[in-house]
Structure formats: structure tokens, C-alpha cells
Structure 1
Amino acid sequence: MLRSDDLQVFVLTAELGSLSAAARQLELSPAVASAALKRLEAQLGCRLLVRSTRSLRLTGEGELYLPHARSALQSLVEGQQLLAGGKATISGTLQLSAPSDFGRNVLLPWLDEFQLQHPLLSLRLLLADRNADLFRQPVDIALRYGQPEDSSLVAVPVAAANRRVLCASPGYLAANGSPRTLADLVHHNCLRFMLAGRVHERWCFLDDRHRELEQLVSGDRVSDDADVVRRWALAGRGVVYKSWLDIAQDVQSGRLVVLLPELLGEPTPLNLICAHRAHLGERVRLLREHLVERCQRLIQLAPFAH
């Protein structure tokens, strides 16, 4: 039978990249920690880690097994909390990936509130616009716009009604005028985002009759960091086509102005992504509820919500 303390040694060793560091954190001797790993590998019938005097890495089997080991340990913690009558009291480490712009400018204060409500919880936050590899990276869940391309991943909605909006700063509009039609964008400097090597330069909308409209845009700036694109817009460098959640607070404060509000922007649903439904434990459930409530407040302020 697998031992939970052996699983703990394996998971912590994989996360820290060092058996000796894991042993110190668990207050074990290196010999005891090494024996735990060997015992686990013997029971599973495969090597999980390749170890040498200078390095340590997961084997292919170890990469496959790691998320299951994490999930098993978390399930044991949640079961213990349930028996203790403290299901709402969550602890441990929640590893989360989020988009750069949404993560820095919207999510951070929400996570601060969440940790104040759950002081025993630790967070590990990775910010990147590229899709997180939930099977290889030390991530339990990811917040991402749109549906995952990998159909094996589990997607749970957080803000299904979110859409893109066209906007620019008051300073840019004072100097360059406001577009009155979609075709007018050819006369404006459009700030574009690049993901996976592809520049997002075909901006799509629906008119009041729900007919699809598309405009090819151009400009002097492209970035693979969505937060950089937003900062350019705030600095008056051009027109931007962004997720409402990313710029809602900028619009409310007057730092950005919504353009052509009669057009309906592309749907950009925010989803919580995980590799296995087993990862949707109590910590993730409570975090999702926390995020859904706050996203709904912002969506209610959107021009497309009226």
C-alpha cells in the first residue's frame, strides 16, 4: 500500500528540484527521504526521478504521476478537514497560472482578499500569456481566456459573458480623433497582441443585426505580453482591442474610453483550467466562487451588458 509520507517526499522533491531540500523541509534525514522515494518507486514498478550527485529531474513516468500524487495528498487534507468540521478552512499550497495583464492588474488584489479569508493557504502564482503546461509545470490550475485547445483538459467557467472591447486613451483621441466606423481603424495606430507567434491583427465584431464584421488593423507596436499592450494604450500610443475584464477599471476611472460601443466584441470567456477533475477540490471551489463573484461585478459595468 502506498504511504502518504512517501508521496509527500516525492511531490516536494519534484517541486524543489532537490531531495536534500525536501528532506530539510520535512525534517527528515537524507537517508530516510531517499528510502521513501525508493519504496514508492518499488511499489509503482518504475523510476520517478533520475538522480545524480549534481542534478535531479523527473522521468516521463514521474511527470505523468506527479499531478496524481499532488491530488491524492490534497484529498487526504480535505478529508481530514471535513472530519474536523472545518471544511471552510483550507490550507496547503495552491499553484495557479494566470494571464499577465489580468494577473497583475485585476487578480492580485482579489487573491489578497482570498488569503485574508483563508490565512493557512499559500499561493504560488505564475504569470504568462502562453498556455501553461499543466502536466509538466508546477501548476494545479490555470486561468485562461477561451476554451483550451487540448480537449483532455477540464475547463470550468469563471466569466462566460466576458468580451473584448475597443478603446483608447483620452490623450490619443484628442490628438488623433475617434473612429466613427470600423473601417476608420485603418487610419489609426492599432496596438496588437501576439500569442504563439501569431499576431492578432484581424479584429472581429458583430453589428446590431449580429452580422459578422472583420477589420485588418496595423500599427507600429506588437507585444507578446498583454500587460505591455495595455500600458501602451494608457500612455496614448494607440487603439487597443482588449478583454473587458482587463481594462474595466481603466474605463471606469477615465484612463481609457470605449470606442464604437454599438459593436459587439469577440467573446472572451474566462475559464479555470485543470488537468484532472480530481484537482477541483475544496480550495479550487472556494477560489472559483471568489473569482466568479468579482468578475460578475465588472461584467455588469460592461457596455455590452446593457
Structure 2
Amino acid sequence: MAYLDNIAVFVRVVELGNLSAAGRDMRLSPAVASNRVKELERHLGVRLFNRTTRQLTPTEQGRAFYEGARKVLDAVQEAEASVAALSGHPRGIIRVTAPLGIGKRLIASGIPEFRDKYPEIEVRLRLSDHEVDMMREGIDVAFKLGILENSSFRMRGIMECERVLAAAPDYLAQRGEPAGPQELVDGGYDCLMLRFPGAREHFWTLQTGDGPQKFEVSGPYDSDDGDVITDWALAGHGIVNKPRFEIEPYLRDGRLKVVLPQTPPVPVRLAALYPHKKFQDPKVRLLVDFMTARCQRMIGEILA
């Protein structure tokens, strides 16, 4: 088992790029992670990494060993999943990622309840509005909210979510309300943008009488954190484009007001993505089923 543990550490070091990140991911100190890799190198009689003070890169032997090692770990995980399915007692670790907003509101708050039902399953949650490389980072399930493109991953649709444009009443009183979507571009309105390295969307797609149209909006405020964007809108700094359920409480208490209700943004889909083989694992199916029902219930209650 120690040898298999050493292989698992080596694989995560390759995938995450350094010992510290691999150690954190596997709940090991950097020193323990380093010793595991050194033990593996002694066993194989080769150097698996080229080490400098700033960089850790696989050697030719390391790259070759990684390909086989990854297959070994995948095979072990599939075998464990088969046993769990037959025994009826799923156990092990699930790595989950979600955007900050829905992650905090819908996913994170449900994990203790999930753990109460399935105490032998450990959930490791990573929240980020940045794109996450699921394969490289070993993610089992990614909850996504957006206009989802076709990919090599399986997708479980949870629900379609209405989006709205909204701004603080004080901002609209000062600037005036736009009469149509083109005024967002030409009228000097401050559009609050969610942007981060690698982000594709630098425009808003609105539903018009001629169908969906893209508008190249801009403004002096952008952030890689969706909650920051909402806070700026509440403070009267501009117009935000948000799923309605995220800002419904502010719309109801009057702190935000819907802008251009006749030409709203196109809806977004809330979904769970996972590699095809992962859904054969009972613990992954259980988590996706649990969170699907929970998200549908909670969003329904928010909008009721």
C-alpha cells in the first residue's frame, strides 16, 4: 500500500506542478510528499524530476512513468467503485469545484448534510470563478453556471436559470435608465464585468426582438469574483448581469432594480460536469443526485 501511496503522490506532483500543492491536495506536508517521491525514485532506480530552486519538471523517465502510473490509479479507483457498488457502502474522496457564488450559496452549505447521510465519503471543495482544468487537477465533479459549450465531459443539467440586468436605484436616478440595449454601448453606462485570465465573455448577450444579440459593453470596474461585482452594483457603481436567484433578495427589498426588462440576458444553465467514467462511481452519483435536488429546491424557494 505504501508503494501505491508513493505513486499517488508522484502523480499529483506531476499534475499540480509542485510538491507543496500536491501535499496540500493530499493532506500531506511538503516534507512528507518529498519523501514519498524520493522513496519511489529509490525503488525505481531513476530520477523522476529535474529539480531547481524554482521549478520541478518530470524527467523523460518521469513522463513515461506518469502515463503508466495514471492508468494504475484509475484502475484502482474503478475497482474500488465496483466494490462499493456491490457492498452498498460508498466511501472515499470526491474532489468538487464550483464558482464562488453558487458554491457558497448552494454547494458548500449542503456538504455537511451530505456527509451526515454518507459519513464515509470525504468531499474536498474548491471554489473559484476561474476556469479549472478538471483533468489536470483531478476534479471528479464541477458545478458550472453559464452558457455551457460541448465538451468531452458528461453533463447533468440541473436547471435553466433566468438572468437579469440590475442596478441600484440611485445609480439609475443619476444616469437615467437606458431606453434600449444599444445605449449600454453608446450611452456611457458603467457595466460591471466578470473577467479573469482566459475568460471568453467580454460582451453581454441579450434577448431582442431579432433574437439573441451580443453587445460589446464596457466599464471601469471588473473583477474575477462575482460577489464583488454584486457589491459594486449595490454600492451604485454600475449595471450588473446576474442570475436572478443570486440577487433576488436585493430586487425584493429595492436595493437593486431590473434594467431593460424587455431585453434580458439569455438564460444560463446550472449543471454538473464530470468525466464519463466518474459517474460509474457510486459516491459521485450520490453527490450529483443530492446536489441536483438541493439546488432545484433552494433556487425554487428563493424565487417563490
* TM-score where L is the length of structure 1: 0.71
Query: 1:41-120 maps to which residues of 2 (within 5 A)?
Result: 49-50=48-49, 59-61=62-64, 64=67, 68-86=71-89, 90-120=90-120
Please, which of 6, 9, 16 is the counterpart of residue 9 of structure 1? Answer: 6
How many residues in Structure 1 have an aligned counterpart in Structure 2?
284
| Structure 2 Cα separation of the partners of residues 282 and 248 of structure 1 | 35
Q: What secondary structure does 2:192 align onto?
A: strand
Distance 1:289 1:259, change over 3 A: farther
Partner in structure 1 of residue 127 of structure 2: 127
How far 1:248 moved relative to its partner?
Answer: 4.6
* TM-score where L is the length of structure 2: 0.71
Partner in structure 1 of residue 230 of structure 2: 230
How far 1:116 moved relative to its partner?
Answer: 2.9
Instruction: Please give the root-mean-square deviation of Cα atoms over the aligned residues, in Å.
Output: 4.2
Partner in structure 2 of residue 142 of structure 1: 142
The yes-or-no answer on 1:159 pairing with 2:158 is yes
Asked if the contact 2:166–2:258 (Cα under 8 Å) also holds between the matched residues in 1, the reply is yes
| Structure 2 Cα separation of the partners of residues 20 and 182 of structure 1 | 49
Partner in structure 1 of residue 167 of structure 2: 168
When structure 1 is superposed on structure 2, of 91-100 and 170-179 the one drifting more is 170-179
| Structure 1 Cα separation of the partners of residues 201 and 242 of structure 2 | 11
Cα deviations by residue, 1:164-213 (Å, 9 ceiling, x for unpaired): 32122345445545445324433432111224355744222113x56234
The yes-or-no answer on 1:267 pairing with 2:270 is no
Cα deviations by residue, 1:207-253 (Å, 9 ceiling, x for unpaired): 3x562344332222012332322222233321101234544555466
How far 1:265 moved relative to its partner?
Answer: 1.9
Cα deviations by residue, 1:86-140 (Å, 9 ceiling, x for unpaired): 3xxx322211222233323443212333223222222222222332122322433
Q: What 5-or-longer segments of structure 1 have no aligned partner?
A: none
How far 1:52 moved relative to its partner?
Answer: 7.0
Q: What secondary structure does 2:160 align onto?
A: coil
| Structure 2 Cα separation of the partners of residues 247 and 20 of structure 1 | 38
Output the amino acid matched with 2:114.
Answer: F
| Structure 2 Cα separation of the partners of residues 162 and 48 of structure 1 | 51
Distance 1:80 1:294, change over 3 A: same
Output the amino acid matched with 1:235.
Answer: A
Output the amino acid matched with 1:147.
Answer: L
Query: 1:156-235 maps to which residues of 2 (within 5 A)?
Result: 156-173=155-172, 175-185=174-184, 186-197=187-198, 200-207=201-208, 209=209, 211-235=211-235
Q: What 5-or-longer segments of structure 2 have no aligned partner?
A: 14-18
Partner in structure 1 of residue 294 of structure 2: 294
Distance 1:65 1:287, change over 3 A: farther
| Structure 1 Cα separation of the partners of residues 202 and 294 of structure 2 | 30
Distance 1:184 1:146, change over 3 A: closer
| Structure 2 Cα separation of the partners of residues 138 and 101 of structure 1 | 22
Distance 1:216 1:284, change over 3 A: same
